[in-house]
Amino acid sequence: MSARGLHWASINEISFVAGMRLLFWICRLFGRWPFRVVLYPVLAWYVLTKPLPRRASREYLRRVSAYAGVKLPGVMRHFASFGESILDKMLLWGGLFKLDQVTLHGGDLITDAVAAGKGGLMICAHLGNLELCRVLSRQRRDIKLTVLVHTKHAQAFNDMLGRLNPESQLNLMQVTEMSPATAMLLAERVARGEFVVIAGDRVPVSHNPRVAVADFIGAPAAFPVGPYVLASVLQCPVFLLFSIRRGDKSEVHFERFRDEVRIPRQHRDDALNALAADYARRLEHYTLRAPLQWFNYYDFWHLPQLDKTDAPR
């Protein structure tokens, strides 16, 4: 695979996990500002030794600046935002995050679905801090989430969260490929009124990923079709889920995406492209509200189906 088209799953995006453990304890003992003072040497080492994420961050910031007509800070600030997000995850599962600083938007959509005994599919993104949703769901025992993840590239970080709080591992389901058995299991959970959460902004972990192409921040990008195929199998309401931080406050946004998804046999690709385009528009909306909280440190605009150098060797 070419360096430009390196798959996100092959990038260990939490390779500075040992440094973050130290920073967590600094924050716990002395507060957030001492944490930030010590954070930058850790980030400087990471940015200097990881050229691919560094270039991806620089290119992403350039695209957003040109598209939105705004001047954004540099790569270090982008990675600092990532460090702050990791700290928030650790504080959350360590019981030190102030949940009263979280504002829910559209939460009535989920509350109403739970009251009606209906489950659903939530499509999220690698934007902001989605651990908030899992922690909030632990407080609301009537809301049950199953989060589909591919965590092998970040196992050290997930193990660390598990040591902070074993419950951080309870509602994660490791999924590399969606098998019929997995789909049946998820259908049973949705039928019980539970919710399945899946990311809509990273292509599948496979040599020949099925993707749809949609405009995102001024250029075509590849988006997975898996969330929409799964939605068509589950035949349940589909919601969008985004989380961003605004100053010292955190926001969690729920939006209704579709009452149900039906993908026709004819013009199947057109239907999937339309669904991905609608998702991409909402993702772009929230990304532009908090551009430094976009944490896909690889060439997101790389189109795998058009790059012959991605063929297995």
Radius of gyration, alpha carbons of the chain: 19
User: Residue 310: its pLDDT value, please?
Assistant: 33
| Tens digits of residue pLDDT in 102-129 | 888 998 999 899 999 899 999 999 998 8
Tell me the C-alpha distance between 146 and 149, whole Å: 10
Q: Are 116 and 237 within 8 A, CB to CB?
A: no
Strand 249-258, strand 102-105: pairing:
parallel
pLDDT of 293 > 90? The answer is: yes
User: Residue 197: its pLDDT value, please?
Assistant: 92
Considering the entire predicted model, what is its pTM?
0.85
Tell me the C-alpha distance between 91 and 84, whole Å: 10
Tell me the C-alpha distance between 298 and 99, whole Å: 31
pLDDT of 15 > 60? The answer is: no
For the beta carbon of residue 313, count every other beta carbon within 10 angstroms. 5
| Tens digits of residue pLDDT in 195-239 | 999 999 988 666 677 889 999 999 999 999 999 999 999 999 999
User: Residue 86: its pLDDT value, please?
Assistant: 81
User: Residue 306: its pLDDT value, please?
Assistant: 52
**DSSP code for 273:** H
| Tens digits of residue pLDDT in 28-76 | 788 778 888 878 887 888 888 888 889 999 999 999 999 999 999 999 9
Q: Residue ranges of the domains in the chain?
A: 8-310
- The pLDDT-based confidence of 141 (bands split at 50, 70, 90) is confident
Residue 72 half-sphere exposure, CB side, CA atoms within 13 Å? Answer: 28
Token pair belonging to 122: 């939530």
Tell me the C-alpha distance between 157 and 12, whole Å: 10
Tell me the C-alpha distance between 9 and 22, whole Å: 25
